[in-house]
Amino acid sequence: MTQKRKDPSPYSNLLVMTVRPLDDNAALVLFSGGQDSTVCLAWALTRYGRVETVGFDYGQRHKVELECRQNVLDVIGKDFPEWAAKLGEDHVLQLPALGQLSNTALTRDVEIEMTGSGLPNTFVPGRNLLFFTYAAALGYRRGLGRLVGGMCETDYSGYPDCRDATLQTLAKAIQLGTEADFKIETPLMQRDKTETWSLAAKLGGPSLVDMIIEHTHSCYKGDRSQRYEWGYGCGSCPACELRARGFHAWRENESAQLADETS
C-alpha cells in the first residue's frame, strides 16, 4: 500500500534536516577592495577566529578595485599582526555571465545617470543575490558559517538587493537549499558613510583609517589620479561624493567630540 506523502511546509524541514556543520566562528567576507567591504573585513577580523575573503571578477569596467583588494590584504598581513593571524585564503571567482547580462555604467563605457525606474544605471540587477549564493557554495566547501557583506540601506539610492529584508530572506533560501546553517551578516546595513568611517576608527584606529584612505577604492570612474583627504577618485561621481561627504562629517564630529572632552 502506498502511503500518501504529507506535503511538508518548506520550513518544517529545517527542524529535522541533517544540518551540515559549519564553523560559527569562521566567516567568509565578500571583499571587493572598496571602503565598505574593507570595513566589513576588519569587523569580521575582530569577531571571528578564522576569516576568508571572496572577490568577484565579472568584467567590471575598471579592474582597479580588484588590484586594490590585493593591496588591502597585503597591508593587513604586514601592519595588523593580530588580524593577519586569523586571515585565511583569498578567493576570486570569475563571473563573466554577470557582465554579459548587465548593461550598466560599471561594466560598459557609459555615463552614470538615473534610469526611469528611479535607480542609477550603476545598478546590476540582482547582483548581491548572486554574490551571496556563490559565497554560500564556497563557504559550504570551506566550512565557513558566516557570510559577511557591506550592503547598506541608508546610502546608494535604494538598490533592492541591498535591503535587509532581501538578504535575510535569501539567507533562509540558502539554509534550505544547502541544509546548512549559514548566517548572512551586514554590519553596515543601518550605517551611513559617516558612521562607516567612525566604525573603521573604532575597529582599527588611525592606522585602519589611513589604510582605507590610501588603498581602498570607491570611484565609479576608476580614477586614481587625484588624491584627496578621503582617498583617491574623480571627486565628482556619486560614489566619490558620498565617500567625501561621509569623511568630512566624520572628521567634524571627531573634532567636536575632542573639543567637548578638552573643554
Residue 230, Cα to own-chain centre: how many angstroms? 19
Decide: residue 260, CB within 10 A, 0-12 exposed, 13-18 middle, 19+ buried. exposed
Q: Which residues bind Zn ion (CB under 5 A)?
A: 219, 221, 233-234, 237, 240
* 22 vs 237, beta carbon nearer Zn ion: 237
* 182 vs 197, beta carbon nearer Zn ion: 197
For residue 218, the minimal CB distance to Zn ion (Å) is: 7
For residue 60, the minimal CB distance to Zn ion (Å) is: 14
* 180 vs 237, beta carbon nearer Zn ion: 237
The residues, ordered by sequence, that sit 6+ positions from 252 with a Cβ below 8 Å of its Cβ are: none
* 149 vs 233, beta carbon nearer Zn ion: 233
For residue 252, the minimal CB distance to Zn ion (Å) is: 22
Radius of gyration of the chain (CA): 20
In whole angstroms, give the CA distance from residue 61 to residue 56. 13
Question: Looking at residue 148, what DSSP letter applies?
Answer: E
In whole angstroms, give the CA distance from residue 176 to residue 166. 16
Residue 100, Cα to own-chain centre: how many angstroms? 22
For residue 239, the minimal CB distance to Zn ion (Å) is: 6
Question: Looking at residue 158, what DSSP letter applies?
Answer: G
For residue 245, the minimal CB distance to Zn ion (Å) is: 13
For residue 86, the minimal CB distance to Zn ion (Å) is: 32
In whole angstroms, give the CA distance from residue 122 to residue 159. 10
CB 124 within 8 A of CB 107: yes
* 60 vs 178, beta carbon nearer Zn ion: 60
Segments of the chain assigned E as strands? 23-30, 50-57, 87-94, 144-148, 183-185, 227-228, 231-232
Residue 209, Cα to own-chain centre: how many angstroms? 17
* 39 vs 242, beta carbon nearer Zn ion: 242
For residue 214, the minimal CB distance to Zn ion (Å) is: 16
* 41 vs 240, beta carbon nearer Zn ion: 240
